[in-house]
Chains A and B, each alone.
Chain A
Amino acid sequence: MAKKKTTRKKAPARKKTVRKVAPKRESHPEFMVQVNEPMMLRKDVLESLREVIIFMQGYEKFRAVQEEKVALFSVLQSNVKELKTLIDGKLRGYMPKGKLTAVTHQELVKAELKEDREEMVEIVPMKSAKAQPEEVKVDVTPQVIDSGPSDLDQLEDQLHDIENQLQNLQ
């Protein structure tokens, strides 16, 4: 009998597995330390952690508040600028320019009394200079157009200008 040829399939070569050898640790004796009040310790650590997280949440809220505040500041600034434009640009333009003082009622009464006295004096035959109507001097103050380097300087100049005008009024 002829031998039947049998062919064996070669089994796939096994991959060599290289075991990683962990570096040897130097064996230290493991000592333990017993802490006092372990429950309290755990509790305190956890509570501290919780409070730190609450702190961080508060920080986010704080930032949002600050952003809102900055936005409101810019709104306020624009409002004040508009007010300045309205008062200085428009309203002031309608008002007369000059050093005119307001007359109070008491001053008016005094002036009338004074005039009456003068009229009585005129009855006496004396040479008296006729009261000449005084011309009201209107000093037109030229508006100084500031061309300063910054808004702050301009505002400072305007402030000085207004203070001078107020002093003149007093």
Chain B
Amino acid sequence: MERMPVFIKVDEYNEVLNVVRLVRKKLEESKETLARIHELKNEEDHQLEMWQTTLAEVEKKIDFVDHSLNEPEQF
């Protein structure tokens, strides 16, 4: 008797099922939103990497220009 299974009467069983269905739907929506945020974050990371590369290229070119201007052929 002390360890008997406990049965709980659920009066509004259908409503509970509907709520669970709704929760599942919301979870799916949230997962999709989160996936899209993750995609956008990847895009941002990619863009940041591209900027880093671009800045390095520009720096290299400006170094060359600076070098050329500072060491002219005839002065």
Contacts and interface: CB of A to CB of B under 8 A. Distances in A.
Determine the main DSSP class of A at the interface with B: helix
> Chain A interface: which size bin?
35 or more
Contacts, number: 113
Contacts of A72: 33, 36-37, 40
A65 B22 contact: no
A160 interface: no
A48 B63 CA distance: 11
Interface of B: 1-6, 8, 10, 12, 15-16, 19-20, 22-23, 26-27, 29-30, 33-34, 36-37, 40-41, 43-44, 47, 50-51, 54-55, 57-58, 61-62, 64-65, 68-69, 71-75
Determine the main DSSP class of B at the interface with A: helix
Contacts of B19: 86, 90-91, 94
A96 B68 CA distance: 82
A58 B51 contact: yes
Nearest to A75: B33
Contact of A36 (B2, B50, B68): B68
Contacts of B10: 94
A100 B72 contact: no
Interface string A73-100: 1011001101100110011001110001
Given A35-B69, A55-B51, A58-B51, A86 B23 contact: yes
A163 interface: no
